[in-house]
């Protein structure tokens, strides 16, 4: 299906120049919490993408009927219901992954990206662009998580997805895992480094200095 | 239709809540059986891991049936409660939760490995963010630890969550709960520190509160079985 420029922007913008994490600085809290290992980062990225896309579609379909005064409540109920369903399905079909993520799945409800996209996009656009916007923002959030999780697990535990990748002779030669990588502040620093690199490559993101 | 009308708003909210409630109730009902089966399988896997056997979910049931010979509840003085025997998920030992105030007794599982009897005791306690729990397999002398299994609900990955890793659990093998005729438990200390009066293992660096939780769990939860363990110890 050919995409118009607007829908293309909805899908691809969040991956780069309109990234929810490194440009809009949303969803930082969970980016710190779940990224000490790569696997939870990946599952979290998928879960947020699914919930965000579905919530965007549902709110977009309901947007002409939602009373303005309770629209935030309606959005929250939709998000909370979807998160509960995702959590129940994980419990039934992916019990081990769900155990790893237990608290974090529930915390998707509090992810600012979800409410932000529903307010800013789904309430004013049709279901199809909203769906793409949800997928785009979910992936835009997800790839940051995966990059941060990759470096934190690699440098913090010497493993990736639980498999040892730093060979034993490196440890014998005096290499040590960086325990600091396991702590939340390092995630913040890694996100800052990503923002730094990203802005250095995108001049239009520079603020006016005078 | 006026969307800002109060009546409309109230009706809208009510209908939405009813639909969502029905949807969630239906999802829960539809998935409940599978989830319970998962929980039971997970419990069997944990019991097997305390015996140092890492069984996949598919083979957990068979392994469990093969190794676990008996399970029952005991009174706080260490005696077996008559009529509480049985190893299936519906029997009292398997279905009794430690934090249940009205529980008839404390569950004990008996497993036979290479001809010798192991006693498996469930434990529960508190970590930093939420509950932690585990199973301790004890040799027939009531003192020597054959294997330990720990799990947690939401400890920090890479820090407190490390209590669930094999390298942490392996440290417990061969430690003794009873020293010179009294129950001492096993201490979890900061790496590098030692204790003089009882056996100890290294805690998790950066996971101090979780490590202390494991320490307290070993003292309190296993302490509830003190008379049972002392009886075993005296008999051997």
User: DSSP label at B138?
Assistant: E
In terms of C-beta density within 10 A (0-12 exposed, 13-18 middle, 19 or more buried), how is residue A11 classed? Answer: buried
Q: Looking at the domain assignment, is residue B4 inside a domain?
A: no
pLDDT of residue A3: 64
Q: Looking at the domain assignment, is residue B9 inside a domain?
A: no
| Nearest residue on chain A to B41, alpha-carbon basis | A95
Rg (chain A; Cα; Å): 19
Q: Looking at the domain assignment, is residue B139 inside a domain?
A: yes
Contacts for B121 with CB less than 8 Å, ≥ 6 apart: B106, B107, B108, B135, B136, B138, B221, B222, B225
Q: Looking at the domain assignment, is residue A79 inside a domain?
A: yes
pLDDT of residue A2: 54
B179: three-class secondary structure by DSSP:
strand
- The count of other CB atoms within 10 Å of the CB of residue B72 is 21
Q: Do B157 and A102 meet the contact criterion of CB atoms below 8 Å apart? A: no
pLDDT of residue A138: 92
Q: Looking at the domain assignment, is residue A207 inside a domain?
A: no
Cβ within 8 Å, pair A70-B206 = no
Cβ within 8 Å, pair A92-B129 = no
Residue B65 — φ and ψ, nearest 5°? -60, -35
A34 touches chain B (CB under 8 A): yes
Q: Which parts of chain A have pLDDT scores under 70?
A: 1-3, 100, 102, 209-210
Residue A199 belongs to what H/E stretch?
Answer: helix A184-200
The rounded Cα B151 to chain-centroid distance in angstroms is: 7
Q: Looking at the domain assignment, is residue B196 inside a domain?
A: yes
Q: Looking at the domain assignment, is residue A138 inside a domain?
A: yes
Q: Looking at the domain assignment, is residue A113 inside a domain?
A: yes
User: DSSP E strands: which ranges in B62-129?
Assistant: 68-74, 106-113, 116-126
Q: Give contacts of A85 with chain B, Cβ < 8 Å.
A: 23-24, 27
Please tell me which of the candidates A67, A84, A156 has its beta carbon nearest to residue B9. A67
Count: domains in chain B: 1
What is d(CA A65, CA B1) in angstroms, rounded to the nearest whole number?
A: 9
Cβ within 8 Å, pair B16-A77 = yes
Contacts for A56 with CB less than 8 Å, ≥ 6 apart: A117, A118, A121, A122, A130, A131, A133, A134
Q: Looking at the domain assignment, is residue A89 inside a domain?
A: yes
In terms of C-beta density within 10 A (0-12 exposed, 13-18 middle, 19 or more buried), how is residue A170 classed? Answer: exposed
The rounded Cα B149 to chain-centroid distance in angstroms is: 8
Cβ within 8 Å, pair B24-A183 = no
A113 touches chain B (CB under 8 A): no
Range of the domain at B155: 39-235
What is d(CA B220, CA B224) in angstroms, rounded to the nearest whole number?
A: 6
- The count of other CB atoms within 10 Å of the CB of residue B58 is 8
Count: domains in chain A: 1
Among positive and negative, which fits the CA dihedral B54, B51, B42, A149?
negative
What is d(CA B95, CA A113) in angstroms, rounded to the nearest whole number?
A: 41
Beta bridge partners of A163: A160
Give the predicted TM-score (pTM) of the model.
0.74
The rounded Cα B135 to chain-centroid distance in angstroms is: 5
Please tell me which of the candidates B34, B41, B129 has its beta carbon nearest to residue A92. B34
Range of the domain at A163: 18-202
Q: Looking at the domain assignment, is residue A132 inside a domain?
A: yes
Q: Give contacts of B158 with chain A, Cβ < 8 Å.
A: 36-37, 152, 156-157, 182
Q: Looking at the domain assignment, is residue A60 inside a domain?
A: yes
User: DSSP E strands: which ranges in chain B?
Assistant: 68-74, 106-113, 116-126, 131-139, 145-152, 178-179, 182-183, 187-189, 200-202
CA angle B163, A163, A36 (to 5 degrees): 55
User: DSSP label at B128?
Assistant: S
In terms of C-beta density within 10 A (0-12 exposed, 13-18 middle, 19 or more buried), how is residue B73 classed? Answer: buried
Q: Looking at the domain assignment, is residue B33 inside a domain?
A: no
Q: Looking at the domain assignment, is residue A5 inside a domain?
A: no
Q: Which parts of chain B have pLDDT scores under 50?
A: none
């Amino acid at each position: 299906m050919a995409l118009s420029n607007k829908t293309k922007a909805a899908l691809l913008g969040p991956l780069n120049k309109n990234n929810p994490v490194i440009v809009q600085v949303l969803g930082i809290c969970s980016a710190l919490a779940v990224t000490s290992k790569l696997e939870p980062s990946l599952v979290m990225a998928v879960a947020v993408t699914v919930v965000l896309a579905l919530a965007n579609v549902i709110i977009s379909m309901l947007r002409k009927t939602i009373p303005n005064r309770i629209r935030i409540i309606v959005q929250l109920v939709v998000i909370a219901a979807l998160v509960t369903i995702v959590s129940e399905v994980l419990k039934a079909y992916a019990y081990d992954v769900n155990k790893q993520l237990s608290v974090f799945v529930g915390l998707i409800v509090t992810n600012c990206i979800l409410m932000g996209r529903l307010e800013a996009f789904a309430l004013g656009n049709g279901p199809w662009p909203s769906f793409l916007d949800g997928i785009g923002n979910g992936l835009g959030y997800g790839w940051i998580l995966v990059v941060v999780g990759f470096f934190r697990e690699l440098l913090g535990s010497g493993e990736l997805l639980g498999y040892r990748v730093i060979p034993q002779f490196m440890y014998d030669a005096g290499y040590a895992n960086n325990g600091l990588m396991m702590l939340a502040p390092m995630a913040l620093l890694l996100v800052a480094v990503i923002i730094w690199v990203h802005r250095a490559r995108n001049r239009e993101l520079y603020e006016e200095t005078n | 239709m006026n969307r800002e009308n109060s009546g409309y708003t109230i009706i809208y909210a009510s209908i939405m809540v009813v639909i969502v409630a029905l949807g969630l109730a239906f999802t829960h009902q539809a998935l409940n059986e599978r989830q319970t089966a998962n929980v039971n399988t997970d419990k069997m896997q944990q019991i097997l891991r305390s015996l140092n056997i890492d069984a996949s979910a598919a083979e957990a049931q068979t392994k469990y049936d093969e190794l676990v010979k008996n399970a029952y509840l005991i009174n706080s003085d260490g005696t077996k409660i008559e009529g509480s025997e049985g190893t299936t998920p519906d029997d009292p030992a398997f279905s009794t939760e430690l934090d249940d105030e009205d529980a008839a007794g404390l569950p004990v599982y008996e497993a036979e490995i290479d001809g010798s009897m192991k006693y498996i005791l469930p434990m529960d306690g508190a970590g930093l963010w939420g509950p932690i729990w585990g199973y301790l397999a004890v040799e027939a002398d009531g003192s020597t630890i054959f294997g330990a299994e720990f799990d947690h609900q939401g400890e920090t990955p890479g820090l407190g969550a490390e209590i669930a890793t094999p390298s942490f659990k392996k440290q417990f093998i061969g430690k003794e709960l009873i020293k010179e005729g009294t129950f001492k438990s096993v201490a979890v200390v900061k790496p590098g520190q030692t204790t003089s009066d009882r056996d100890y293992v290294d805690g998790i660096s950066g996971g101090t509160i979780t490590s202390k939780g494991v320490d307290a769990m070993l003292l309190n939860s296993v302490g509830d079985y003190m008379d049972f363990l002392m009886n075993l110890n005296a008999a051997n």
